[in-house]
Structure 1
């Protein structure tokens, strides 16, 4: 399985084909609203795999039963796992604010628990609510093989760019897809974004809101855009941060993200050498040292306890740290240590990206991502397209260039649908889109495109680095978003925020 630069938002710093489900009626009746039995949260996880010490006893978890296939609403059901952080001022409560933090494949249950402190201003007036989308973790999470197989898949090298490396990647993609079908075949056709948007409408009804107040980050922006397209009259105050352009092809997405990560990497190196930089005295030296490190790891992985830090894992670790400028100092130290033969920190970064716990188990982060991505498009790139994409990406960045998600989707065992590619929120209330100029995973060019597609959206531009703007700590972005979500004040056209 080739490394794919997923559009995940990090809330903290640190083979028979099955048919796709039929589309239900737009703005259809959700039926009688369910009562959610909220109770204590017992299985929250931290990125390091440890359970948190529960300090806020008001946090509650629950489940929502939804149809597996919305074309058969009375058929099989699945449970969607939920979490709620109650508003601190219940007398001035505006309702619930539902979050999706990205992926696709990120656990909203785990992430909201981590991010709640950073959302304290919104918590004054809203119950903060999130969920594991269908196909993710506790919500019939997609699994593809055991831990040992996942270790093998995620550690594959991407360098040197040789035919042997490419053939190994192709073989791994096929094996991975077969394991996904074997282990999770029942859920695979039904994990698409349109179905998840309908799940959110069931959630809206269950928490008692006439309209959905929503905050989507990264992939969550596409989910929010699809919800607004399906249910425009039920759109409440909605913010879409680090937006995706759902219309891009795999090739366009891969090249844009490769370019974005390379630019972020170069910005990291420039920032590192301003002070004492363990990677090198100047950008040219630092870059050459990292190149040499990757070459050495490709020739001989670095031992880290009973594990190997491969070139593939090292590159994944670098990519993981580029999602947030807060992580740049840690990345500099990690690369410096690896150059001295100590790979623990770089391996830690890679594990945070792939969802591997210290015990060796994996979340569904790396398995839910392709499952949702591939069912959300009918695109199945042929060999020539994949090779052209990879050749162009490697020219942009030998470190981050790859064939992208198209390689897995080309061998995926389930047909896809293009429903989630077409968004138009005509008839909805105002939507606020926030795009960052230095975002590596969702390049800024996608922000005005999604804004235009929605028809009812206003764009706020953030001039800073990192994936996602609101959780960056920028006071200007926070002021625009909070004013809208708490007071209904829509930013003026052309609103922008400088990095501080």
Structure 2
């Protein structure tokens, strides 16, 4: 397991149902960078990544952006965009969506999310894109499929011996070198700040005076960074499943240990189990797998401890998937690892032919460029008791991950935590879900506080799963729709149960 659990967005739930230094503000009230007069050549979308082309409602285009924003008139790269035009005559403008990761493909995700946001399409063009380094926008692949599968079966995510620690760190360093070789000079220009600047150019080229935006999971951090850089260009902005902007690398890992354990406890209670005893049984299963992986129905593949943990994580993203987790755990306790392996494959974007997706590759390149903190193995060891107290199931994995994720990374990180303060921006709707496993609820209040007084407006949903909008709450959906469609800002602290 890697920090891919960190800010994974709604695409994770979709996968299951089918089986992510800013400096001071630069807002000068003027458009920067390449001329906003470039024209987008919208046309029929093509099939990508093994998925069929979306229907006729969808158009695709390429936006040219600077490779290096410090040289806005220099070399450019192309960003893949997708849109569906507004249905109604009373059009507000474009509504940009980022579904998280970092590393998630908006071009792939937007059509499947369109039903959820169909009411918003009455007044907005629905627009998303593959951020730089992702998918069709110079997407980065750091390792081939054969080596990914080999690492899954041989590298221990919770090393117990010096030899296992050496292999753990060697694998991390090797992955980083693979990213460097694949990305080249792009590797130093895929930060969240770079993408926030891309968004502002996108706003200009789309013809909007203000940026209307819907960010989910990591997309909330991206939205906060954009608001900090361009507060006077913010339109109506929704941040759902909020990343805590005040947490550093260790803080995020601890937050996730807490969030996933909280979600697991809720799941166990829903099945009539005591959370402490149920967690102990799962932790015992993982310990047994560390010594002896389970056989599966997939030829030549076994269920390792790390793969089992990944399989457990996936159903926690959606309450509707909890019965799948029950079945998979029961099968594993009987000695059959097939169902947990299938869940892990869904999370890791592995298809039936053994081909893996690249979301986690892009995610690692982006987050390691963003994050300056690089905990050592010694620091990770010291964290383990604290993390294991927070979560007996997930703590050790996330504690070790602080040392392994960006170990010996070829490019230095930019900041300890992102800057999201946005004085002068209009109200931003910040949604927190009390049962969110990947981005715990506390991050929503922190985001609102850091955006600034009069800017961050918190909406709380007492629910389960990753994200609130479109998850079954009429209260949440109607509040968001009223804000985006009519500009109706709810009272700060409104609660939907």
Shorter-chain TM-score above 0.5: yes
State the match for 2:282 in structure 1.
Answer: 290
8 Å CA contact 2:279, 2:393 repeated in 1: no
Q: What SS does structure 2 have at the residue aligned with 1:61?
A: strand
**Distance (Å, rounded) in 2 between the aligned partners of 1:7 and 1:200:** 20
Select between 242-251 and 461-470 the one with higher mean Cα deviation: 242-251
Secondary structure, in 3 states, of the residue corresponding to 1:117? coil
Would you say 1:435 and 2:432 are equivalent positions?
Answer: yes
Cα distance, 1:43 vs structure 2: 2.4
Match of 1:276 in 2: none
Identify the residue that residue 123 of structure 2 maps to in structure 1.
Answer: 125
Q: Identify which range, 359-368 or 473-482, moves more after superposition.
A: 359-368
Relative to structure 1, is the Cα distance of residues 282 and 193 closer, same or farther in structure 2, using a 3 angstrom cutoff?
closer
Distance of 2:230 and 2:264 partners within structure 1: 39
Pair 241,154 (structure 1): closer, same or farther in 2 beyond 3 Å: farther
1:439 Cα offset (Å): 1.1
Find out whether 1:32 has 2:30 as its counterpart: no
What do the CA deviations read for 1:391-419 (whole angstroms, capped 9, x no partner)? 42233334312233453224211012129
Give the alignment's TM-score, normalised by structure 1: 0.89
Which stretch shows the higher mean deviation, 261-270 or 33-42? 33-42
The residue aligned with 1:112 is 110
Write out per-residue CA displacement over residues 253-290 of structure 1, whole angstroms, 9 at most, x where no aligned residue: 111110111111121122133xxxxxxx7667754553
Residue in 2 that maps onto 1:305: 298
CA–CA distance in 1 between the matches of 2:150 and 2:389? Answer: 27
1:487 paired residue number: 486
- Residues 431 and 461 in structure 2, CA contact (< 8 A), matched pair in contact too: yes
- Say whether the 8 Å CA contact 1:4–1:405 is kept in structure 2: no
Question: How far apart are the structure 1 equivalents of 2:3 and 2:423?
Answer: 37
> What residue is the counterpart of 1:368 in the other structure?
362
* Residues 5, 441 of structure 1: 8 Å contact kept: yes
Give the alignment's Cα RMSD to 1 decimal.
2.4
Counterpart-to-counterpart distance in 2, 1:339 and 1:360: 26
- Answer yes or no: is the 8 Å Cα contact 1:436–1:468 preserved in 2: yes
Gaps of 5+ in 1: 15-19, 274-280
Match of 1:95 in 2: 93
Aligned residue in 1 for 2:60? 61
Question: How much does 1:250 deviate?
Answer: 1.3
Q: 1:261 to 1:309 in 2, by over 3 A?
A: same
Helix, strand or coil at the partner of 1:129: strand
Q: What number of residue pairs does the alignment pair up?
A: 480
Q: Residue 74 of structure 1: CA displacement? A: 2.1
DSSP-derived class of the 2:103 partner: coil
Gaps of 5+ in 2: none
Distance change >3 Å, CA 152–CA 6, structure 1 → 2: farther
CA gap 1:2/1:488 in 2 versus in 1, 3 angstroms: closer
SS at match of 1:460: strand
Structure 1 residue aligned with 2:258: 259
Structure 1 CA distance for aligned equivalents of residues 377 and 339 of structure 2: 36
Q: Is the 8 A contact 1:144 1:177 kept in 2?
A: yes
Contact map agreement 1:21 1:190 (CA 8 A) in 2: no
Whole-angstrom CA distance in 1 between matches of 2:72 and 2:494: 43
Matched with 1:422 is: 419
Cα 1:418–1:295, aligned 2, differ >3 Å: closer, same or farther? closer
Going from structure 1 to structure 2, the CA distance change for 1:24 and 1:37 (only over 3 Å counts) comes to farther
Equivalence for 1:239 = 238
Q: Shift of residue 129 of structure 1? A: 0.6
**169-178 or 210-219: which moved more?**
169-178
1:223, CA displacement in angstroms? Answer: 0.4
What is the CA distance between 1:420 and its match in structure 2?
6.6
Q: 1:239: Cα distance to partner?
A: 0.3
- In structure 2, the CA distance between the partners of 1:86 and 1:345, relative to structure 1 (3 Å rule), is farther
Structure 1 residues 148 and 430, CA gap change in structure 2 (3 angstroms) = same
Q: Which residue is 1:7 aligned to?
A: 7
Name the structure 2 match of 1:278: none
1:96–1:213 contact (8 Å) kept in structure 2: yes
Q: Counterpart in 2 of 1:388? A: 382
2:159/2:165 contact within 8 Å kept: no
Residues 214 and 237 in structure 1, CA contact (< 8 A), matched pair in contact too = yes
